[in-house]
Structure 1
Amino acid sequence: MSAGMQQVILWVVLFAIFYFLLIRPNQKRQKQRNAMLAALKKGDRVVTIGGLHGTIDLINDENNTIVINAGGHKLTFEKMAVQSVIGESVQKSQ
């Protein structure tokens, strides 16, 4: 086997290891996050990237913003600022 062929095989093996250890898991996490953001609905209890806990009051799909009621204050965030959903829809009695 020539030295050039060994180098090609080495690069292919390194790329395969890189793909299965880094790229593929990251794509899977990104797909899960996008599904979570797409499933957001009014009343969901969420935590933002900054650590703010609140309940979604309004979702505006035109510019991807949400309004969160946190301790009586309404704050507007980008959808991408939501880190996780900590509870399903909370029904408010009106």
Structure 2
Amino acid sequence: MLISEAFAQAASGTQPEPNLMSFLPLIGILVIFYFLLIRPQSKRAKEQKLMREGLQKGDEIIISGGELGRVISVGENYITIEIAPNVEIVVLKAGVQTLLPKGTLKSIDTGKSSKALKNNKPQKASDTQESSDEGTNVSPASESQKESSNKN
């Protein structure tokens, strides 16, 4: 015979029952997931909820769309924010992403000077040349329309 009797008898034995040692890797993975994923996420959600409940008039915020603004009024589920002078929008409280420190909106560099825009001063000399060139270019279709309107 090719297989000895002792070896064949051992192979036909029952499987060992699962014990705590066989579940240890699964328990370890669950503990790692709890400390690395679940716990920090629930802590962050709790902080967000407290921040949204604590919003008050005058706070500077960023909403989930990326708009920055100052809180004008706070309701139960909605807030009104001013995103530009005389421009107010109503958003859900759940849309508030970040509470900014006071004075942040004034110190942000947007790339364009609001003073230059208010004084109607062009920022570049090339901008004024482009706008004057655009006014002088007239298409043939518009010339024919002008001629027909002049005839009437």
TM-score between the two structures when normalised by the length of structure 2: 0.53
Q: CA RMSD in A?
A: 1.6
The Cα offsets for residues 55-81 of structure 1, whole Å up to 9 and x where unpaired, read as: 1111111xx000011112110000011
Alignment of 1:7-86 (within 5 A): 7-61=22-76, 64-71=77-84, 72-86=86-100
Equivalent AA in structure 1 for residue 18 of structure 2? G
Q: Which runs of 5+ in 2 are unaligned?
A: 1-15, 104-152
Distance in 2, Cα, partners of 1:29 & 1:35:
10
SS in 2 for 1:21: helix
Q: Identity across aligned pairs (percent)?
A: 30
Alignment of 1:1-12 (within 5 A): 4-5=18-19, 6-12=21-27
The Cα offsets for residues 3-42 of structure 1, whole Å up to 9 and x where unpaired, read as: 7223322211111111111001111111111111111001
SS in 2 for 1:54: strand
- Equivalent residue for 1:92? none
TM-score between the two structures when normalised by the length of structure 1: 0.83
- Equivalent residue for 1:87? 101
Distance in 2, Cα, partners of 1:76 & 1:25:
31
User: How far 1:87 sits from its partner (Å)?
Assistant: 2.7
Instruction: Decide which structure has the larger Cα Rg and report it.
Output: 2
- Equivalent residue for 2:3? none
